[in-house]
Amino acid sequence: MNTVHSSRPHRESQREAALTAARGILEAEGLAALTARRLAGVLGCSVGTLYNLFDSFDALVVQLNLATLAELELALAAAALPGASAEEAAQSLAAAYLAHTTRHRRRWAAVLEANAAPRSGQPDAMRDSTARLVELVEQALAPIFPPEAAPGTARLAAAVLWTGLEGIAALSTAGNLALVAPGADASSMARLLVRAYVTGLATRD
């Protein structure tokens, strides 16, 4: 029993070292460069050791994506503007969102790739983390919706706006924004999207 307890901190230390090294590869070269063999080589261990630390390589990638989403959540929470108008609050979140995903574009590309692969399923933790991000947008849009608004209306509106911003971020991350908007930049497009969308919501019947 004592052996198990004494080895647990060492195992956690190994997991953290693996995640840190994997994050470095992901940041520098992207998801395609992150393989079990490559990571084992960086850590100086066997591939088998990695699979003793994580249930699968996909599980390791999920942990990296959860860390990326957690950092984004912190960035958006810091950009929240309680008491501001819906547009001011939403613009602040959109700017923080694009700044963070641009700064960590390869890590964000890994999150988008996971979101686009329903065949593998999305862990509950990933869905919960994304739901918290959308909730921040819902809070920003809250001033537009009266108390008598139908349940779920504000949530749906926030999800629609989030989806639009994610589309801009995805195209920008992939370097394909010029294909749909030659000469435009992601920040300008996001500002226009937020302004038009919030104005539309505020003047709806």
Higher pLDDT, 17 or 112: 17
> What is the average per-residue pLDDT within 140-157?
91
Phi/psi-derived region of residue 183, left when phi > 0, alpha when psi is between -120 and 50, beta in every other case: left
Residue 116: the pLDDT is: 67
Last residue of a domain, one of 19, 34, 54: 54
Question: Would you list the DSSP string of 45-110?
Answer: S-HHHHHHHSS-HHHHHHHHHHHHHHHHHHHHHHH--TTS-HHHHHHHHHHHHHHHHHHTHHHHHH
pLDDT of 154-163, one tens digit each?
A: 999 999 999 9
Higher pLDDT, 5 or 63: 63
Expressed in percent and rounded to 5, the helix, strand and coil fractions of the chain are 80, 0, 20
Beta carbons of 172 and 102 less than 8 angstroms apart: yes
DSSP 31: G
* Percentage with pLDDT > 90 across the chain: 72
Residue 42: the pLDDT is: 94
> What is the average per-residue pLDDT within 6-29?
87
CA angle in degrees (0–180, nearest 5) for 50-52-57 = 50
pLDDT(147) > 90: no
| pLDDT class of 5 with cuts at 50, 70, 90 | very low
Residue 102: the pLDDT is: 92
* Percentage with pLDDT > 70 across the chain: 92
Last residue of a domain, one of 13, 28, 54: 54
Which one, of 61, 88, 68, lies nearest residue 133 by Cα?
68
Residue 2: the pLDDT is: 34
Range of weakest confidence among 9-13, 51-55, 150-154: 9-13
Query: CB burial class (10 A; 0-12, 13-18, 19+) of residue 51?
Result: middle
Beta carbons of 86 and 141 less than 8 angstroms apart: yes
Residue 4: the pLDDT is: 34
Residue 191: the pLDDT is: 96
Q: What CATH number is attached to the domain comprising 28?
A: 1.10.10.60
Q: What CATH number is attached to the domain comprising 134?
A: 1.10.357.10
Please tell me the pTM assigned to this model: 0.87
pLDDT of 70-80, one tens digit each?
A: 999 999 999 99
Q: Provide φ and ψ at 194, rounded to 5°.
A: -65, -45
Query: Domain total for the chain?
Result: 2
Which one, of 189, 204, 12, 199, lies nearest residue 94 by Cα?
189
Residue 195: the pLDDT is: 97
Q: Identify the domain containing residue 38 by its residue range.
A: 1-54
Do 158 and 85 fall within a single domain? yes
Residue 115: the pLDDT is: 72
Average pLDDT, the chain: 89
pLDDT(90) > 80: yes
Q: How far apart are the first and last CA of the chain?
A: 67
Do 40 and 107 fall within a single domain? no
